[in-house]
């Protein structure tokens, strides 16, 4: 968990004297989703927190799908940040949604996220975010511009300072793989939310609206016989410390705005022990030839024709969390991502993926 301590301790702060206690306080609240988790509350210390996280990530994915449907009919939905990373109204909308919901349910737990409201303020785009939140947030009152801006900034870079002791906080990546979001219907992108308690990741939820159940994986299910009963699209993956990693389909392809089905499937990483039999995944910004392993093995994308001196390279995807998702689900055996000199490692790019892979029996190194 050094990654999390390292990243958080270096966040710029507006108030260097503000610290947050580690203990979590439970509140009485109602989560909109009627879906039960695949393990009992007695086994999971943070059951209520995970239940709330599943609900909000589910709704965040639906927000993304709604925005993306209008993306290709209006160029105004696509923005550009100063670092030239594409970002959409959905990116800000997801952060506002998660911040609004979690601050109501767990007001003592701060949020660490990727965006702040500066871009929206300077480009007069707040109304667009307010509009996409209108039907999906649980606020009884009509959301105002100030509500949304404050919610986004609650997770922004200047929102909190952390003391020397391990902290407790939510970590959010609103849309990991924004390039994939913009590219088209087949590219993968992920909404990722994790909870860190006293410096340890204790739960995580990843939602991937474009995930298709077209590849075999090594999983077991309490309702395995129902897995292929209808055509499914999208995946939501959850993990809780000591309770394993599980996945569920987001929706039926014929009813993409319907609710989650109670069909949790246990996830395990691929148990392959032989290099040339493993399924590899690398960033789309990287080539196989740039890796030391390429000196021993060539890469092929043809699964049916992998030679003894070749490895299977799965189609590239945008964002770090997509690759964690592929490994934790068993679709990929391993992903390799080289560290770039001078580039900071950000907690939201890895936190939820780390616990999902770990609880599925994998290892991050």
Q: How far apart are CA 135 and CA 283, in angstroms?
A: 35
Half-sphere exposure of 322 (CA within 13 A, CB side): 27
pLDDT at res. 119: 87
pLDDT at res. 7: 36
Last residue of a domain, one of 218, 241, 267: 267
The whole-model pTM stands at: 0.82
pLDDT at res. 22: 40
Active site residue 254: no
Active site residue 146: no
Looking at the chain, list the stretches that DSSP marks H as alpha helix, in order from N- to C-terminal side.
2-9, 47-71, 89-105, 118-122, 126-133, 145-153, 178-183, 320-329, 351-359
Residues 202 and 261 in one domain: yes
Helix (H, G, I), strand (E, B) or coil at 200: strand
Number of independent structural domains in the chain: 2
Residue numbers of the chain with a pLDDT score lower than 70: 1-35, 71-87, 184-186, 214-232, 252-261, 316
Pick from 192, 199, 196: which is nearest to 323 by CA? Answer: 192
pLDDT at res. 33: 54
**C-beta separation of 51 from 31 below 8 A:** yes
Q: CB under 8 Å to 127, separation ≥6 — which residues?
A: 145
Please provide residue 304's backbone torsions phi and psi, each rounded to the nearest 5 degrees.
Answer: -85, -5
Last residue of a domain, one of 224, 239, 267: 267
Residues 233 and 310 in one domain: no
Domain residues for the domain of 281 are 275-359
Of 55, 58, 88, 91, catalytic: 91
- Any domain includes 195: yes
- Any domain includes 365: no
Residues 147 and 282 in one domain: no
**C-beta separation of 363 from 357 below 8 A:** yes
pLDDT at res. 356: 98
Of 88, 178, 245, 249, catalytic: 178
pLDDT at res. 159: 76
Q: How far apart are CA 272 and CA 279, in angstroms?
A: 9
- Any domain includes 364: no
- Any domain includes 22: yes
């Amino acid at each position: 968990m050094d990654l999390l301590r390292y990243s958080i301790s270096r966040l710029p702060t507006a108030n260097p004297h503000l610290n947050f206690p580690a203990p979590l306080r439970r509140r009485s609240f109602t989560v909109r989703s009627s879906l039960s988790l695949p393990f009992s509350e007695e086994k999971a210390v943070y059951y209520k927190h995970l239940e709330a996280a599943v609900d909000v990530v589910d709704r965040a994915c639906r927000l993304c799908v709604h925005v993306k449907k209008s993306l290709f009919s209006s160029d105004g939905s696509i923005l550009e940040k100063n670092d030239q990373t594409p970002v959409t109204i959905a990116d800000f909308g997801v952060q506002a949604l998660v911040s609004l919901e979690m601050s109501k349910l767990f007001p003592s737990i701060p949020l660490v996220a990727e965006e702040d409201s500066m871009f929206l303020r300077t480009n007069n785009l707040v109304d667009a975010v307010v509009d996409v939140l209108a039907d999906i947030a649980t606020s009884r009152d009509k959301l105002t511009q100030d509500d949304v801006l404050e919610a986004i900034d609650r997770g922004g870079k200047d929102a909190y300072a952390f003391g020397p002791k391990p902290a407790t906080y939510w970590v959010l990546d609103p849309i990991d793989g924004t390039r994939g979001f913009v590219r088209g219907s087949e590219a993968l992108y992920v909404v990722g939310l994790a909870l860190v308690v006293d410096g340890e990741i204790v739960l995580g939820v990843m939602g991937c609206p474009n995930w298709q159940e077209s590849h075999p994986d090594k999983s077991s299910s309490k309702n395995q016989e129902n897995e292929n009963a209808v055509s499914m699209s999208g995946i939501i993956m959850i993990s809780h410390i000591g309770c394993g990693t599980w996945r569920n389909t987001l929706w039926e392809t014929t009813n993409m705005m319907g609710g989650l089905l109670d069909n949790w499937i246990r996830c395990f990483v691929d148990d392959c022990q032989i290099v040339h039999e493993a399924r590899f995944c690398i960033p789309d910004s990287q080539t196989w030839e740039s890796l030391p392993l390429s000196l021993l093995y060539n890469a092929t994308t043809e699964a049916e024709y992998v030679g003894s001196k070749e490895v299977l390279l799965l189609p590239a995807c945008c964002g770090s969390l997509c690759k964690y998702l592929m490994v934790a689900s068993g679709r990929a055996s391993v992903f390799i991502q080289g560290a770039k000199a001078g580039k900071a490692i950000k907690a939201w790019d890895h936190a939820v993926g780390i616990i999902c892979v770990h609880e599925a029996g994998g290892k991050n190194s």
